[in-house]
């Protein structure tokens, strides 16, 4: 926040995300019209909002607006699928979960640490591995839905996945808000004067609550989709990523805070299965 107000980029993103979500208000989209008519309506709406964004914004604000509006549009389409009574309901839950996660990463960063805010804060270009993982989940869902449609209609399992997503998302955002300006999407190699060791709130339960939240959120997205292959794949890939990330980060934190972090590390676990973090020399 700047002077108690959301920075301009944050305000632009909020308005444009809402604009994207407003696709749910387009007449006819929530009805029983044919797929062709639905596609035409979506294409007309996309063209309209793109022209609107071009008229309203320039430079960085346009780049923010495009990304936020796209995520809002995806979330809106997810809501339409979720409440449209189709067999794609659970995929709608997934779209809402995915789009809201990426948008909220940007918005919360704009609130807690605007100095670190950038287009990368959307995490849309997190890594090639992340992109491939997302695409693989879409491919698995589509193929299995065609070959084994009953597998994608296990509502209790998808609901369990939705709970995992909601809990994981809430934990991650609670960690970001608790850490405040100490939170950064990039591991810091140099200690700033403003850096302090955060041990209160959710950090009194886990040393890395944002990673715990993201870990279970990512697996939950695949449980929503009832993707057996990707549930296993996401679990292993996420575990490996956070195992390496936490060790790297904790080496830096020990350098920053010395004995204070070592004592904190001894008291509070990571809460990620079988991940102990950096070793401390006796």
Domain with 146 in it: what CATH number?
1.20.120.1630
Q: Which two tokens stand for residue 137?
A: 């989940």
Answer yes or no: do 274 and 238 share one domain. Answer: yes
Packed helices 89-112 and 8-21: angle between N→C axes, nearest 10 degrees: 170
- Biggest alpha carbon distance in the chain? 69
CA 35 to chain CA centroid, Å, is 29
pLDDT of residue 38: 82
Give the domain-ending residue among 80, 105, 126.
126
Query: d(Cα 82, Cα 134) in Å, to the nearest integer?
Result: 20
Give the domain-ending residue among 102, 126, 150.
126
Candidates 205, 225, 210; CA nearest to 142 is 225
Residue 42 · residue 34 · CB < 8 Å: no
Answer yes or no: do 277 and 153 share one domain. Answer: yes
Candidates 246, 244, 222, 243; CA nearest to 234 is 222
Residue 74 · residue 99 · CB < 8 Å: yes
pLDDT of residue 194: 74
Answer yes or no: do 134 and 29 share one domain. Answer: no
Candidates 256, 267, 247; CA nearest to 203 is 267
Answer yes or no: do 103 and 223 share one domain. Answer: no
Say how many domains are in the chain.
Answer: 2
Boundaries of domain holding 232:
127-281
pLDDT of residue 35: 75
Answer yes or no: do 109 and 76 share one domain. Answer: yes
pLDDT of residue 33: 56
23-50 as b/e, with b when 16 or more CB fall inside 10 Å?
A: bbebeebeeeeeeeebeebbeebeeebe
Answer yes or no: do 191 and 240 share one domain. Answer: yes
Q: What is the pLDDT along the chain (282 residues), one digit of tens a residue?
A: 444 578 999 999 999 999 999 999 988 776 555 577 888 889 999 999 999 999 999 999 999 999 999 999 999 999 999 998 888 999 999 999 999 999 999 999 999 999 999 999 999 988 899 999 999 999 999 999 999 999 999 999 999 999 999 999 999 999 999 999 999 888 777 777 778 999 999 999 999 999 999 999 999 999 999 999 999 999 999 999 999 999 999 999 999 999 999 999 999 999 999 999 998 766
pTM score, two decimals? 0.94
Answer yes or no: do 231 and 121 share one domain. Answer: no
Helix (H) or strand (E) holding 1: none
pLDDT of residue 2: 43
CA 13 to chain CA centroid, Å, is 15
């Amino acid at each position: 926040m700047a002077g108690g107000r959301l920075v301009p980029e944050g305000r632009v993103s909020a308005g444009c995300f809402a604009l994207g979500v407003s696709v749910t208000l387009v007449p006819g989209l929530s009805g029983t019209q044919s797929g062709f008519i639905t596609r035409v309506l979506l294409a007309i709406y996309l063209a309209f909002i793109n022209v609107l964004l071009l008229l309203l914004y320039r430079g960085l604000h346009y780049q923010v607006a495009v990304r936020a509006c796209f995520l809002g549009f995806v979330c809106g389409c997810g809501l339409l699928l979720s409440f449209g009574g189709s067999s794609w309901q659970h995929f709608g839950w997934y779209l809402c979960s995915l789009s809201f996660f990426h948008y909220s990463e940007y918005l919360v960063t704009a609130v807690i640490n605007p100095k670190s805010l950038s287009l990368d804060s959307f995490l849309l270009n997190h890594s090639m591995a992340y992109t491939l993982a997302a695409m693989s989940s879409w491919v698995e869902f589509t193929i299995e839905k065609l070959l084994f449609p009953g597998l994608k209609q296990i509502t209790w399992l998808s609901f369990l996945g939705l709970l995992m997503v909601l809990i994981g998302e809430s934990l991650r955002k609670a960690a970001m808000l608790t850490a405040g300006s100490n939170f950064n999407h990039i591991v810091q190699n140099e200690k700033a004067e403003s850096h302090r060791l955060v041990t209160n709130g959710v950090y009194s339960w886990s040393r890395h609550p944002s990673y715990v939240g993201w870990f279970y959120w990512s697996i939950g997205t695949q449980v929503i989709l009832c993707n057996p292959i990707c549930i296993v794949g996401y679990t292993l890939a996420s575990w490996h990523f956070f195992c390496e990330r936490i060790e790297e980060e904790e080496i830096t934190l020990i350098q920053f805070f010395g004995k204070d972090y070592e004592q904190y590390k001894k008291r509070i676990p990571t809460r990620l299965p079988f991940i102990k973090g950096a070793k401390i020399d006796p």
